[in-house]
């Protein structure tokens, strides 16, 4: 390796083993640079799938740090390991038959009541989700709050790995979100109406005409079609008191 | 990690032109202008980037060189080494894949009485579905109609779409949204329950439904949770590497390869559904990609060897707005929803050059023209070029806080690298995004091979030669569900003969005699991102750097 190249290199210790890698790489790309062929601990490579939760310390600092390997840049003297899998409890349930209540959450996941409010979950969340607050809301049965607070959860499992109460926060959260979506969010009435129209065959003839139209007629219809503007406001779903 | 001085100077120009630009109407391309733009600047038209296939059902058809190298590579399997008379698994319906199409298929197949087995290469949910941000189209509002949706789809697809597939797509769309609502997916709604919906590129009505900018993730985790509740078995890290046929030429299951123990195993199945997604990780023409690690065209390779015909493999979708800066996330997706919410595309001088909601093929070609021909792109410190996506406009247009509320994933992605996209524009360049074509199917996902179904990105014909935003999440659910239903019903009447891998033997023999460059074996399963010197060392070679 050329000497000038080495100036831009940093030392990383992958599960304790030292590798020299170029500065500026993500942990994931640094592991690949070091020669690892990833099977576990690598998924979407874009910060959405939660496969690459990583725990590390930097030499001289007692603090435990975390990040997604695909979104975190390497530092000099970083000691890291990935946690690609962590055992988790997943209850089986029928979402339709459940009610959106604290009792439903607690009877499905009784360990929810063991939360010590230590905030370890929040400290390791790579998405910076207020996990502890969400669990407190779950204990109170404030399903809408849990759903809103945990919406960006990737289920990477880092909170689960640190929880002294042995909870699986991401599974409690998905149950809350599905209870919200199924039982608390208002139904879309226009959707139900459209399904009736489709069932009655209201659009069949128009679609069949398009299917059999000569190419030139299709082109003309496409070029001449009206573009309907969007309504001005963009109001997102109200999931919270604010 | 904010912008360097040259980039900041360009940003000042973007800011100076902003208020005037926000009032400006940019004209749509005429059909002729669009054609000229595509043939001159779209990567599909680049000389030398494709070659004709020399073996198989599509012999003579041009496909990207990177795909040809896999379609015409030897198998990973030595047929003579496997005992097909003693299957390790014997099921009604085998579903192959990791994402939304395969999960929808498995749920519906089980509902229709089938004994289902799912196999996947990585984990359940490791798929492009999880990464789809922008949304899902459905004509479910007053003033819109499935027919209107139909016309948008075929116009966007350059009128090459298969009509019966488009009819299925647009007619099933509202029922798919209803299915998601009933399963408890948190789609964006107003307080009265009305779905929030906006425009995407090429839509004539604002029918793009979303779940913030985690639309695919919300859909994926909801249907996966449901399938787990219903105890559908799933083998992870165990991809299919070849289809098995029977002595009558019917599909009869697959050979699996365990990525961790490196064992092969045999599944006998009355019907088989391929839902393995696309080919982003082939990095066609060296482009970066928005795609998942496992998007390596495995389903195309297996189906092609078994004799299935491919459609429109000479068209690749480049997403117009991939990240061009910062370097660590180059190629990752900047959702079309950013443009849907009003952000404009502007060049280094702060001027617009294309209407932002043209179809993706046209916007990509326009960005390439701006950078390559007109030399009005912005160059990053590592030499990458791009144009600005003027994201701060969104909060100006729709009120402060809109970006953080409607685009939390995008906002977080940039914030991690020190860029606040609600205050500063972001730099983008086209990135490989979607496989427009795929295995030919009918409206039930059936291929020409009896008992073999294909659903989702691995199939072809639904989107013609260019897919519109929001029709991929729709496609995987519409055709996943359809294939699941039909595969379950079909399994009740199938009788399988003697299992065979003769088609693989024949393929290997044909490959042995061709001169065209090809991979050592296929399917690829996972890309290898090791450095050249590492690859050399793995072979025991002498390193001379």
Please provide the average confidence, as pLDDT, over all residues in chain B. 96
User: How close B164 comes to chain A (CA, Å)?
Assistant: 8
The pLDDT value given to residue B2: 83
Rounded to the nearest angstrom, the gap between the alpha carbon of residue B215 and the centroid of all alpha carbons in its chain is 14
B357 & B463 share domain: no
In total, the C-beta contacts within 8 angstroms joining chain A to chain B are: 246
Query: How far apart are alpha carbons B538 and B318 in whole angstroms?
Result: 34
pLDDT greater than 80 at residue B117: yes
B288 & B203 share domain: yes
The pLDDT value given to residue B539: 86
B251 & B143 share domain: yes
Cα–Cα separations (whole angstroms), residue B127 to A36, A48, B186, B456 = 21, 10, 20, 11
- What homologous superfamily does CATH list for A7-82? Beta-grasp domain (3.10.20.30)
Chain B residues in contact with A32 (beta carbon < 8 A): 529-530
**Contact call for A207 and B146, based on CB within 8 A:** yes
The pLDDT value given to residue B157: 97
Residues 103-122 of A with CB under 8 A from B: none
Of B452, B447, B440, the residue nearest B487 (C-alpha) = B452
pLDDT tens per residue, range B218-262: 999 999 999 999 999 999 999 999 999 999 999 999 999 999 999
Quickly list DSSP for B305-360: HTTPPEE-TT-EEEEEEEE-SSGGGTT-B--THHHHTTPPEE-TTS-B-S-TTS-H
The pLDDT value given to residue A241: 40
Residue with tokens 């617009």: B352
The pLDDT value given to residue B544: 47
The pLDDT value given to residue A242: 39
Query: How far apart are alpha carbons B531 and B533 in whole angstroms?
Result: 5
Chain B residues in contact with A73 (beta carbon < 8 A): 328
Q: Is A44 on the interface with B (CB under 8 A)?
A: yes
Select from A9, A32, A37, A49 the residue whose CB has the most chain B CBs within 10 Å, as the one to mutate to test that interface: A49
Select from A84, A100, A234 the residue whose CB has the most chain B CBs within 10 Å, as the one to mutate to test that interface: A234
Give the CATH number, domain containing residue B231.
3.50.50.60
Is residue B424 included in any domain, yes or no?
yes
Query: How far apart are alpha carbons B346 and B343 in whole angstroms?
Result: 10
Residue of B nearest to A226 (CA): B204
Residue of A nearest to B230 (CA): A92
- Outline where A42-119 has alpha helix (H): 102-108
Strand order in the sheet with B459-460: B310-311, B438-440, B459-460
Is residue B256 included in any domain, yes or no?
yes
B300 & B326 share domain: no
pLDDT tens per residue, range A56-108: 999 999 999 999 999 999 999 999 999 999 999 999 999 999 999 999 999 99
B233 & B123 share domain: yes
The pLDDT value given to residue A55: 97
* CA-only gyration radius of chain B, Å: 23
Domain stop point among B432, B461, B479: B432
The reply to whether B339 belongs to the active site is yes
Q: Is A178 on the interface with B (CB under 8 A)?
A: yes
Report residue B239 as tokens: 């991809």
User: How close B416 comes to chain A (CA, Å)?
Assistant: 8
Residue of A nearest to B132 (CA): A48
Residue of B nearest to A180 (CA): B184
pLDDT tens per residue, range A131-152: 999 999 999 999 999 999 999 9
Cα–Cα separations (whole angstroms), residue A163 to A108, A118, B180, B381 = 18, 9, 32, 42
B472 & B414 share domain: no
The pLDDT value given to residue A236: 45
B416 & B277 share domain: no
pLDDT tens per residue, range B278-325: 999 999 999 999 999 999 999 999 999 999 999 999 999 999 999 999
pLDDT band at B1 (very low <50, low <70, confident <90, very high): low
Query: How far apart are alpha carbons A188 and B189 in whole angstroms?
Result: 8
Q: Is A88 on the interface with B (CB under 8 A)?
A: no
B287 & B409 share domain: no
Q: Is A29 on the interface with B (CB under 8 A)?
A: yes
User: How close B423 comes to chain A (CA, Å)?
Assistant: 20
Query: What is the reported pTM?
Result: 0.96
Mean pLDDT of A26-47: 96
Chain B residues in contact with A152 (beta carbon < 8 A): 212, 214, 408-409, 412
Element at B525 (helix H, strand E): none
The pLDDT value given to residue B279: 98
How do the domains of chain A map onto residue ranges?
7-82, 95-184
pLDDT greater than 70 at residue B463: yes
**Contact call for A178 and B184, based on CB within 8 A:** yes
pLDDT band at B542 (very low <50, low <70, confident <90, very high): low
pLDDT tens per residue, range A173-194: 999 999 999 999 999 999 999 9
The reply to whether B374 belongs to the active site is no
The pLDDT value given to residue B261: 97
Query: How far apart are alpha carbons A183 and A177 in whole angstroms?
Result: 10
**Contact call for A228 and B228, based on CB within 8 A:** no
Give the CATH number, domain containing residue B369.
3.90.700.10
Question: Which residue among B281, B339, B369, B518 is the active-site one?
Answer: B339
Is residue B175 included in any domain, yes or no?
yes
Chain B residues in contact with A211 (beta carbon < 8 A): 163-164, 166-167
ipTM: 0.95
pLDDT greater than 60 at residue B523: yes
Is residue B53 included in any domain, yes or no?
no
pLDDT tens per residue, range B169-181: 999 999 999 999 9
The pLDDT value given to residue A239: 43
Residue of A nearest to B415 (CA): A71
Residue of B nearest to A5 (CA): B545
**Contact call for A90 and B228, based on CB within 8 A:** yes
Is residue B77 included in any domain, yes or no?
no
Residue of B nearest to A187 (CA): B193
pLDDT band at B540 (very low <50, low <70, confident <90, very high): confident
Tell me which residue range forms the domain holding B238.
Answer: 94-314+436-500
The pLDDT value given to residue A166: 97
Rounded to the nearest angstrom, the gap between the alpha carbon of residue A87 and the centroid of all alpha carbons in its chain is 18
**Contact call for A237 and B530, based on CB within 8 A:** no
**Contact call for B123 and A43, based on CB within 8 A:** yes
pLDDT tens per residue, range A124-133: 999 999 999 9
Is residue B410 included in any domain, yes or no?
yes
B288 & B363 share domain: no
Report residue B111 as tokens: 């509902």
The pLDDT value given to residue A231: 76
B254 & B294 share domain: yes
Question: Which residue among B319, B433, B486, B518 is the active-site one?
Answer: B319
Q: Is A89 on the interface with B (CB under 8 A)?
A: no
Considering only CB atoms, B531 lies closest to which of A33, A37, A194, namely A33
Neighbours of B28 (CB within 10 A): 14
Angle at B493 (CA atoms; ends B487, B498), nearest 5 degrees: 95
B264 & B308 share domain: yes
Is residue B195 included in any domain, yes or no?
yes
CATH number of A95-184: 1.10.1060.10
Considering only CB atoms, A43 lies closest to which of B122, B178, B534, namely B122
Chain A residues in contact with B166 (beta carbon < 8 A): 211
User: How close A39 comes to chain B (CA, Å)?
Assistant: 7
Total domains in the fold of chain B: 2
pLDDT tens per residue, range B530-539: 999 888 888 8
Select from B184, B196, B200, B395 the residue whose CB has the most chain A CBs within 10 Å, as the one to mutate to test that interface: B184
pLDDT tens per residue, range B60-102: 999 999 999 999 999 999 999 999 999 999 999 999 999 999 9
Chain B residues in contact with A228 (beta carbon < 8 A): 143-144, 204-206
Is residue B58 included in any domain, yes or no?
no
**Contact call for B151 and A181, based on CB within 8 A:** no
The pLDDT value given to residue A7: 59
B171 & B277 share domain: yes
């Amino acid at each position: 390796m050329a000497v000038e190249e080495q100036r831009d290199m940093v030392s990383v210790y992958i599960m304790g083993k030292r590798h020299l890698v170029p500065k500026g790489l993500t942990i994931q790309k640094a592991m690949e640079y070091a020669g690892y062929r990833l099977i576990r601990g690598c998924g979407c490579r874009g910060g959405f799938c939660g496969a690459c939760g990583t725990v590390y310390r930097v030499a001289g600092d007692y603090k435990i740090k975390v990040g997604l390997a695909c979104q975190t840049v390497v530092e000099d003297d970083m000691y890291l390991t990935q946690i690609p899998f962590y055992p988790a409890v997943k209850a089986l349930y029928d979402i339709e038959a459940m009610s959106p209540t604290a009792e439903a959450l607690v009877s499905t996941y009784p360990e929810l009541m063991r939360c010590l409010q230590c905030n370890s979950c929040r400290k390791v969340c790579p998405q910076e989700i207020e996990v502890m607050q969400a669990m407190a809301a779950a204990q109170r049965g404030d399903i809408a709050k849990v759903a809103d607070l945990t919406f960006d959860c990737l289920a990477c499992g880092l909170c689960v790995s640190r929880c002294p109460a042995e909870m699986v926060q991401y599974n409690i959260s998905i149950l809350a979100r599905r209870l919200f979506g199924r039982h608390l969010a208002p139904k879309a009435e226009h959707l139900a109406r459209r399904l009736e129209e489709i069932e009655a065959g209201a659009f069949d003839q128009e679609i069949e005409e398009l299917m059999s139209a000569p190419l030139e007629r299709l082109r003309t219809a496409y070029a001449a079609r009206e573009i309907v503007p969007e309504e001005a406001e963009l109001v997102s779903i109200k999931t919270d008191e604010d | 990690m904010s912008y360097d001085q040259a980039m900041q100077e360009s940003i000042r120009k973007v800011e100076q032109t902003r208020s005037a630009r926000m009032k400006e109407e940019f004209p749509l391309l005429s059909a002729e202008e669009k054609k000229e733009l595509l043939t001159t600047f779209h990567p599909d038209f680049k000389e030398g980037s494709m070659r004709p296939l020399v073996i198989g059902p599509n012999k003579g058809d041009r496909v990207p060189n990177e795909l040809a190298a896999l379609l015409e590579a030897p198998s990973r399997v030595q047929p003579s080494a496997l005992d097909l008379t003693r299957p390790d698994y014997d099921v009604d319906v085998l579903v192959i894949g990791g994402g939304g199409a395969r999960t929808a298929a498995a749920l519906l197949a089980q509902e229709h009485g089938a004994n289902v087995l799912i196999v996947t290469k990585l984990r359940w949910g490791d798929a492009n579905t999880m990464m789809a941000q922008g949304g899902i189209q459905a004509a479910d509002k007053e003033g819109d109609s499935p027919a209107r949706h139909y016309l948008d789809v075929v116009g966007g697809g350059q009128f090459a779409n298969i009509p019966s597939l488009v009819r299925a797509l647009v007619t099933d769309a509202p029922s798919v949204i209803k299915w998601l609502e009933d399963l408890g997916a948190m789609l964006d709604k107003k307080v009265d329950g009305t779905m929030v919906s906006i425009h995407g590129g090429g839509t004539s009505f604002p029918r793009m439904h979303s779940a913030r900018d985690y639309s695919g993730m919300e859909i994926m985790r909801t249907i996966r949770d449901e399938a787990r509740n219903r105890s559908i078995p799933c083998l992870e890290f165990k991809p299919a590497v070849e289809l098995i046929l029977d002595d009558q030429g019917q599909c009869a299951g697959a050979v699996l390869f365990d990525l961790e123990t490196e064992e092969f195993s045999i599944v006998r199945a009355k019907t088989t559904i391929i839902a393995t997604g696309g080919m982003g990780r082939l990095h066609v023409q060296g482009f970066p990609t928005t795609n998942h690690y496992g998007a390596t065209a495995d389903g195309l390779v297996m189906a092609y060897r078994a004799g299935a015909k491919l459609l429109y493999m000479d068209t690749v979708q480049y997403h117009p707005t991939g990240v061009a800066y910062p370097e660590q996330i180059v190629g990752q997706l900047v959702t079309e929803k950013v443009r849907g919410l009003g952000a404009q595309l502007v060049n280094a001088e702060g001027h617009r050059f294309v209407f932002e909601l043209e179809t993706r093929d046209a916007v990509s070609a326009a960005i390439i023209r701006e950078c390559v021909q007109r030399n009005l792109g912005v160059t990053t410190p590592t030499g990458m070029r791009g144009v600005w996506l003027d994201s701060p406009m969104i909060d100006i247009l729709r009120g402060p806080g809109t970006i953080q509320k409607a685009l939390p994933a995008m906002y977080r992605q940039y914030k991690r690298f020190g860029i606040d996209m609600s205050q500063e524009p972001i730099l983008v360049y086209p990135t490989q995004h979607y496989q427009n074509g795929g295995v030919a199917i009918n409206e039930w996902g059936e291929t020409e091979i009896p008992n073999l179904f294909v659903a989702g990105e691995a199939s072809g014909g639904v989107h013609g030669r260019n897919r519109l935003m929001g029709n991929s999440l729709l496609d995987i659910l519409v055709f996943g569900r359809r294939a699941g239903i039909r595969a379950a019903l079909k399994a009740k009447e199938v009788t399988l003969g003697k299992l065979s891998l003769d088609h693989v033997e024949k393929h290997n023999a044909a490959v042995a005699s061709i001169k065209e460059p090809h991979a050592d074996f296929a399917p690829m399963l996972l890309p290898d991102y090791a450095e050249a010197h590492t690859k050399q060392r793995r072979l025991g070679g002498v390193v001379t750097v």
